């Protein structure tokens, strides 16, 4: 579909260009350009005359020597006798003999013609009877000369611009067809009144010349004349027989006749017209139509034109073929112009689809992008946009949007984000709603760390909108709605309906999933830096859904929280963890294990008592079980939280503060809670070894935690440098992909330290 449309568009451009060039071929200006081009080529590719043709010129010197003008014709008589004696092959006169002169002179010439062996040719001219008249008068030599000569046509026909470019093969004079002088000399025949172009690349100076008076007096190179064709004509300026021609300026008619004859001697040229080179230009133009940049177009146009002109020159010089190139060049220029216009249009279109501040594609670009059926669209709405703008300044706002987009891109992995509106960034989403909501949560988390804009740290709050069928406007409205309601996200009605359905069905399956064993628990090691051993782990839940495949906890934990299914799920994880923990302890491992406890459960009495029952029934070793709670979980209702956490403490469960740094807790607040451990959030740890501000925060947090008697875990350690940094900063434990990914209980056990082995370091530590 696209390809045919593309071809059709190309074809139209071609057709229009072709019409322009064909139209141009008919225009007089085309002829002018063509003549100019031919002249230029002829000037560069000059050639020598054949040497067969010699000129005897009635030059100024000869006229001066004769002392009177017109001279009497006995001069001609002496001339032809000399030439005959020297063995000339033929003698042609480009001088009119149409009126009588002196009796003796004329008689002497007539007699000489009759007596010599060399054939003599005299000219006939065709002239207008009066200026502007169409009737033509034929101008023949007087009868007494006509006896022993052949008559040749010597008419010269200048073009409209008074330049002589072509010559006829022959004319009809006095009712008889006669060859032109040049056709006769070259021995070429052609139909009367058809013309051939004179080859002005032949250098007139290479035609041998003799002064009339010298020949008449026998003072010339006789051997040089033997066997040659001689053409006699006037070159003296005062005799006036001169015409304008291309390249050589104004030259005597006899020289034109000689060049015309030389043209035919070299082989009659062929006029091929403009079609062959236009055909050659077609594939070149097609190639040019593939150019994508101005540079390519210029290069292609120059190259194609050079090929056309070189072909023209080669045909002319090598094959004596005259081919016109102007229509072909016009065709190339037209296609180049069309291509330039196309690029300009694409650029304008791109400009219209780009947000000038941030350089991101805009809403128009979103509308023009192709979207899969049923694709969702998400928008992020920047809260307090005006305040941010006044802080970073108007000129940095684009930069701000770009940085924000990068952050979202980093979390979502989406290739193209759009600036849907001043304060809104949008992106398409192909998967389920649930995954999108995970993304929102992760973006929100990533933005807990301020953005760095022009040296300023900017706190950004966002909320989100979702709509289905790529309805950007609906998604934007939904995001505004979320903002109004103070929620993290809001879904447009259609999207909401689909989500509710998905959620209900997923949560309906959760209970069965536990029963069916689709829910499992994996453990991510926390490495203790003082011993370089794994002495603690975090339990992380996994759901292997039979149809949907592996579901991320980020996806179903929030759903479980909302639909009151988090309690049974957490109790399941707790039971499983305690089971494994006891198993490891019985085998002598030094290990503690942490379970994540959602905010909701901390203040839930039913969860409290259920957890209490399990812990009492199984009797886990004191302080080997840890509950990880997040900062925000405890802050909504601190009193209840503190009371409940105290109850866990009494059961011998250690409390760890998860994701530290992403909330707003203060030192005094931390003191309220019965904590054992502080986990610094991944967002700060990840780059602490390269980013100064992060390093500072991590160091001061470690100091603070130590002063409160807490041990510190650094989360999200992915590289050795980061681990080294934390060790140097005094961190107690590290967790992250560099140490290990979350692994199964079976995979974990070999990594653990068995009590006997660890005896020595343990004792040493206690002693200190
Ligand atoms: O490892 P992972 O991608 O699994 O964890 C994603 C998020 O889900 C983490 O923030 C983690 O705290 C949370 N999570 C994992 N398992 C549990 C669980 O059993 N209960 C709760 N409440 N959160 C969990
Ligand atoms: O929020 P909580 O502390 O429960 O987070 C655990 C989450 O962190 C899990 O999703 C786990 O897969 C992830 N995680 C653990 N180590 C790393 C790490 O080194 N890099 C990254 N990017 N994620 C990690
Ligand atoms: Mn955790």
**Extents of the domains making up the chain:** 2-39+272-352, 53-265, 363-504, 517-759
Question: 424 alpha carbon to ligand 1 midpoint, in Å?
Answer: 30
Residue nearest to atom 9 of ligand 2 (CA): 540
CA–CA distance from 361 to each of 324, 365, 388, 494, 521 (Å)? 49, 6, 21, 26, 43
Mean pLDDT of 518-537: 96
Helix (H, G, I), strand (E, B) or coil at 378: strand
Helix (H, G, I), strand (E, B) or coil at 468: coil
Nearest to 676 by CA among 641, 644, 713, 633: 713
- As a whole number of angstroms, the distance between CA 706 and CA 339 comes to 70
The pLDDT confidence band at residue 5, using thresholds 50, 70 and 90, is low
Highest mean pLDDT among 64-73, 239-248, 496-505, 699-708: 699-708
Q: Is 195 exposed, middle or buried (0-12, 13-18, 19+ CB in 10 A)?
A: middle
Question: 523 alpha carbon to ligand 1 midpoint, in Å?
Answer: 11
The pLDDT confidence band at residue 635, using thresholds 50, 70 and 90, is low
Backbone angles phi, psi at 72, to 5 degrees: -80, 160
- As a whole number of angstroms, the distance between CA 542 and CA 675 comes to 27
Residue nearest to atom 5 of ligand 1 (CA): 553
Residue nearest to atom 21 of ligand 2 (CA): 716
Question: 628 alpha carbon to ligand 3 midpoint, in Å?
Answer: 6
Backbone angles phi, psi at 362, to 5 degrees: -105, -170
Pocket perturbation via mutation, ligand 1, pick of 411, 540, 681 by most ligand atoms within 8 A of CB: 540
Query: Do the strands 625-630 and 654-660 form a parallel or antiparallel pair, or are they unpaired?
Result: parallel
CA–CA distance from 464 to each of 105, 559, 670 (Å)? 116, 17, 31
- Give me the chain's average pLDDT, please: 87
The pLDDT confidence band at residue 128, using thresholds 50, 70 and 90, is very low
C-alpha radius of gyration, the chain, whole number: 51
CA–CA distance from 294 to each of 7, 18, 298, 563 (Å)? 21, 22, 6, 61
> Is the per-residue pLDDT at 342 higher than 80?
yes
Does domain 517-759 correspond to CATH entry 3.30.413.10? no
The pLDDT confidence band at residue 4, using thresholds 50, 70 and 90, is low
Ligand nearest to the CA of 521: 1
Per cent of the chain over pLDDT 90 is: 50
Helix (H, G, I), strand (E, B) or coil at 693: helix
Question: 31 alpha carbon to ligand 2 midpoint, in Å?
Answer: 79
Is residue 554 in contact with ligand 2, taking CB distance under 6 Å?
A: no
Question: Where are the strands (E) in 571-725, listed by range?
Answer: 592-596, 625-630, 654-660, 677-680, 711-714
Q: Within 6 Å (CB) of ligand 1, which residues are found? A: 540-541, 552-554, 557, 570, 573, 596, 598, 742
Pocket perturbation via mutation, ligand 1, pick of 434, 596, 736, 737 by most ligand atoms within 8 A of CB: 596
- Statement: the pTM of the whole predicted model exceeds 0.75: no
Question: Where are the strands (E) in 22-97, listed by range?
Answer: 53-58, 90-93
Q: CB within 5 A of ion ligand 3: which residues?
A: 596, 628, 658
Helix (H, G, I), strand (E, B) or coil at 530: coil
The pLDDT value given to residue 599: 80
Nearest to 261 by CA among 234, 285, 229, 291: 229
- As a whole number of angstroms, the distance between CA 154 and CA 252 comes to 13
Nearest to 507 by CA among 571, 442, 561, 550: 561
Ligand nearest to the CA of 662: 2
Distance from chain centroid for Cα 285: 20
Q: H-helix or E-strand containing 734?
A: strand 733-735
> Is the per-residue pLDDT at 372 higher than 90?
no
The pLDDT confidence band at residue 767, using thresholds 50, 70 and 90, is very low
The pLDDT confidence band at residue 34, using thresholds 50, 70 and 90, is confident
Q: Which pair of structure tokens corresponds to residue 693? A: 């501000």
Q: H-helix or E-strand containing 242?
A: strand 242-245
The pLDDT value given to residue 510: 85
> Is the per-residue pLDDT at 577 higher than 90?
yes
Listed range (8-12, 63-67, 78-82, 360-364) with the worst mean pLDDT: 8-12
Question: 532 alpha carbon to ligand 1 midpoint, in Å?
Answer: 25
CB contact at 8 A, 21 and 327: yes
Listed range (126-135, 201-210, 663-672, 744-753) with the worst mean pLDDT: 126-135
Question: 618 alpha carbon to ligand 3 midpoint, in Å?
Answer: 23
- As a whole number of angstroms, the distance between CA 280 and CA 325 comes to 10
Cis, peptide link before residue 70, omega less than 30° from 0: yes
Which atom in ligand 1 lies closest to the alpha carbon of residue 540? 16
The pLDDT value given to residue 147: 85
The pLDDT value given to residue 569: 94
The pLDDT confidence band at residue 130, using thresholds 50, 70 and 90, is very low
Instruction: Match 């030094």 to its residue by tokens.
Output: 590
CB contact at 8 A, 264 and 188: yes
Structure letter (DSSP) for residue 239 = G
Pocket perturbation via mutation, ligand 2, pick of 733, 736, 741, 743 by most ligand atoms within 8 A of CB: 736
Nearest to 715 by CA among 624, 621, 596: 596
> Is the per-residue pLDDT at 132 higher than 70?
no
- For the residues of 285-301, what is the DSSP string, one character each? HHHHTT--SHHHHHHHH
The pLDDT value given to residue 664: 66
Q: Which pair of structure tokens corresponds to residue 510? A: 């959760």
Q: H-helix or E-strand containing 173?
A: strand 170-173
CA geometry: angle 761, 764, 768, nearest 5 deg: 140
The pLDDT value given to residue 2: 58
Nearest to 541 by CA among 595, 490, 600: 595
Is residue 716 in contact with ligand 2, taking CB distance under 6 Å?
A: yes
Residue nearest to atom 23 of ligand 1 (CA): 596
Helix (H, G, I), strand (E, B) or coil at 459: coil
- As a whole number of angstroms, the distance between CA 207 and CA 51 comes to 6
Question: 644 alpha carbon to ligand 1 midpoint, in Å?
Answer: 21
Is residue 596 in contact with ligand 2, taking CB distance under 6 Å?
A: yes
The pLDDT confidence band at residue 634, using thresholds 50, 70 and 90, is low
Listed range (19-28, 224-233, 260-269, 528-537) with the worst mean pLDDT: 19-28
pLDDT tens track for 150-196: 999 888 888 888 899 999 998 876 677 889 999 999 988 888 888 88
The pLDDT confidence band at residue 710, using thresholds 50, 70 and 90, is very high
The pLDDT value given to residue 757: 54
> Is the per-residue pLDDT at 758 higher than 90?
no
The pLDDT value given to residue 243: 92
Listed range (119-123, 510-514, 710-714) with the worst mean pLDDT: 510-514
Is residue 736 in contact with ligand 2, taking CB distance under 6 Å?
A: yes
pLDDT tens track for 550-567: 788 877 887 888 778 899
The pLDDT value given to residue 765: 44
Question: 373 alpha carbon to ligand 3 midpoint, in Å?
Answer: 37
The pLDDT value given to residue 131: 45
Nearest to 121 by CA among 154, 84, 92, 87: 92
Question: 629 alpha carbon to ligand 3 midpoint, in Å?
Answer: 7
Q: Which residues pair with 91 in a beta bridge?
A: 120, 230
Q: H-helix or E-strand containing 534?
A: strand 533-545
Which atom in ligand 1 lies closest to the alpha carbon of residue 541? 16
- As a whole number of angstroms, the distance between CA 749 and CA 590 comes to 11
pLDDT tens track for 595-615: 999 888 888 889 999 999 999
Question: Where are the strands (E) in 129-279, listed by range?
Answer: 136-139, 149-153, 166-168, 170-173, 176-179, 195-197, 209-211, 229-234, 242-245, 249-252, 270-273
Q: Do domains 363-504 and 517-759 have the same CATH topology?
A: no
Which residues lie closer than 8 Å to 118 by C-beta, 6 or more apart? 80, 83, 84, 88, 89, 90, 91
- As a whole number of angstroms, the distance between CA 752 and CA 583 comes to 12
CA geometry: angle 715, 721, 722, nearest 5 deg: 20
Ligand nearest to the CA of 633: 1
> Is the per-residue pLDDT at 382 higher than 80?
yes
Question: 651 alpha carbon to ligand 2 midpoint, in Å?
Answer: 28
> Is the per-residue pLDDT at 457 higher than 90?
no
The pLDDT value given to residue 272: 87
CA–CA distance from 662 to each of 116, 161, 393, 489 (Å)? 123, 89, 27, 19
Is residue 740 in contact with ligand 2, taking CB distance under 6 Å?
A: no
Backbone angles phi, psi at 422, to 5 degrees: -50, -45
For the chain, helix (H) and strand (E) counts, in that order, are 31, 31
The pLDDT confidence band at residue 133, using thresholds 50, 70 and 90, is very low
Is residue 737 in contact with ligand 2, taking CB distance under 6 Å?
A: yes
Is residue 34 in contact with ligand 2, taking CB distance under 6 Å?
A: no
Residue positions counted in the chain = 768
More confident residue, 456 or 632: 456
The pLDDT confidence band at residue 198, using thresholds 50, 70 and 90, is very high
Question: 491 alpha carbon to ligand 2 midpoint, in Å?
Answer: 28
Distance from chain centroid for Cα 353: 17
The pLDDT value given to residue 498: 67
The CATH code for residues 363-504 is: 3.30.70.270
Which atom in ligand 1 lies closest to the alpha carbon of residue 524? 1
CB contact at 8 A, 202 and 263: yes
> Is the per-residue pLDDT at 632 higher than 90?
no
Nearest to 593 by CA among 616, 615, 561, 610: 615
Question: 613 alpha carbon to ligand 3 midpoint, in Å?
Answer: 23
> Is the per-residue pLDDT at 436 higher than 70?
yes
CB contact at 8 A, 607 and 601: yes
Q: Which residues pair with 678 in a beta bridge?
A: 657, 712
Question: 508 alpha carbon to ligand 3 midpoint, in Å?
Answer: 26
Which atom in ligand 2 lies closest to the alpha carbon of residue 742? 12
- As a whole number of angstroms, the distance between CA 31 and CA 37 comes to 10
> Is the per-residue pLDDT at 388 higher than 70?
yes
Which atom in ligand 2 lies closest to the alpha carbon of residue 524? 15
């Amino acid at each position: 579909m696209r390809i045919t449309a593309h071809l059709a568009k190309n074809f139209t451009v071609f057709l229009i260009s072709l019409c322009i060039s064909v139209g141009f071929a008919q225009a007089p200006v085309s002829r002018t350009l063509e003549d100019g081009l031919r002249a230029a080529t002829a000037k560069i590719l000059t050639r020598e005359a054949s040497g067969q043709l010699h000129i005897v010129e009635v030059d100024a010197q000869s006229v001066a020597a004769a002392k009177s003008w017109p001279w009497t014709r006995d001069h001609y008589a002496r001339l032809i006798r000399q030439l005959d004696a020297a063995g000339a092959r033929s003698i042609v006169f480009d001088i009119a003999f149409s009126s009588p002169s002196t009796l003796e002179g004329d008689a002497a010439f007539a007699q000489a013609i009759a007596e010599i062996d060399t054939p003599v040719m005299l000219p006939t001219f065709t002239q207008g009877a009066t200026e502007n008249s169409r009737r033509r008068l034929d101008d023949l030599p007087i009868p007494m000369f006509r006896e022993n000569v052949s008559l040749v046509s010597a008419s010269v026909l200048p073009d409209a611009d008074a330049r002589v470019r072509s010559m006829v093969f022959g004319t009809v004079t006095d009712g008889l067809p006669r060859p032109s002088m040049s056709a006769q000399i070259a021995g070429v025949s052609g139909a009367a009144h058809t013309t051939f172009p004179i080859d002005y690349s032949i250098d007139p100076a290479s035609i041998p010349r003799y002064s009339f008076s010298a020949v008449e007096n026998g003072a010339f190179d006789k051997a040089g004349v033997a066997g040659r064709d001689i053409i006699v004509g006037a070159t003296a300026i005062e005799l006036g027989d001169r015409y304008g021609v291309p390249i050589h300026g104004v030259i005597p008619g006899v020289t034109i006749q000689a060049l015309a004859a030389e043209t035919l001697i070299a082989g009659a040229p062929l006029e091929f017209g403009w079609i062959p080179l236009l055909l050659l230009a077609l594939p070149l133009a097609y190639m040019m139509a593939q150019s994508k940049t101005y540079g390519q177009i210029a290069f292609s146009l120059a190259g194609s034109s050079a090929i056309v002109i070189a072909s023209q020159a080669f045909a002319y010089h090598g094959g004596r073929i005259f081919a016109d190139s102007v229509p072909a060049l016009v065709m190339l220029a037209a296609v180049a112009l069309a291509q330039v216009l196309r690029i300009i249009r694409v650029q304008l279109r791109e400009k219209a689809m780009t947000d000038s501040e941030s350089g991101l594609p805009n809403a128009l670009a979103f509308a023009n992008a192709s979207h899969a059926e049923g694709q969702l669209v998400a928008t992020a709405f920047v809260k307090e946009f005006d305040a941010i703008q006044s802080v970073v300044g108007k000129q940095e706002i684009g930069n701000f949007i770009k940085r924000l987009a990068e952050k979202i891109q980093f979390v979502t992995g989406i290739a193209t984000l759009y600036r849907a509106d001043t304060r809104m960034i949008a992106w398409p989403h192909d998967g389920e709603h649930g995954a999108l909501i995970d993304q929102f949560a992760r973006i929100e988390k990533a933005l807990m760390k301020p953005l760095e804009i022009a040296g300023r740290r900017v706190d950004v709050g966002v909320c989100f909108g979702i709509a289905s069928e790529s309805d950007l406007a609906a998604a934007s409205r939904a995001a505004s709605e979320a903002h109004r309601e103070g929620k993290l996200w809001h879904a447009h009605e259609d999207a909401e309906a689909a989500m509710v359905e998905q959620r209900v069905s997923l949560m309906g399956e959760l209970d069965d999933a536990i029963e069916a064993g689709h829910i499992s628990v994996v453990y991510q090691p926390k490495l203790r830096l003082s011993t370089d051993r794994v002495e603690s782990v975090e339990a992380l839940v996994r759901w292997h859904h039979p149809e949907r495949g592996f579901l991320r906890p980020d996806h179903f934990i929030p759903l479980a929280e909302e639909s009151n299914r988090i309690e049974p799920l957490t109790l399941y994880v707790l039971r499983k963890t305690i089971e494994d923990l006891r198993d490891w302890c019985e085998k002598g491992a030094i290990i503690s294990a942490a379970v994540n406890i959602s905010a909701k459960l901390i203040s839930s009495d039913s969860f409290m008592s259920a957890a209490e029952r399990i812990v009492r029934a199984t009797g886990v070793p004191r302080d080997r079980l840890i509950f990880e709670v997040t900062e925000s979980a405890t802050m909504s209702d601190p009193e209840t939280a503190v009371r409940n956490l105290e109850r866990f403490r009494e059961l011998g469960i250690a409390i760890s503060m998860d994701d530290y740094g992403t909330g707003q807790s203060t030192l005094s607040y931390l003191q309220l809670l019965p904590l054992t451990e502080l986990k610094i959030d991944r967002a700060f740890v990840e780059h602490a070894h390269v980013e100064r501000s992060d390093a500072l925060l991590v160091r001061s947090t470690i100091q603070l935690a130590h002063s409160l008697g807490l041990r510190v875990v650094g989360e999200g350690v992915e590289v050795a440098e980061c681990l080294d940094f934390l060790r140097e900063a005094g961190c107690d434990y590290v967790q992250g992909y560099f140490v290990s990914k979350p692994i199964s209980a079976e995979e974990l056990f070999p990594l653990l330290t068995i009590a006997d082995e660890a005896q020595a370091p343990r004792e040493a530590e206690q002693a200190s």
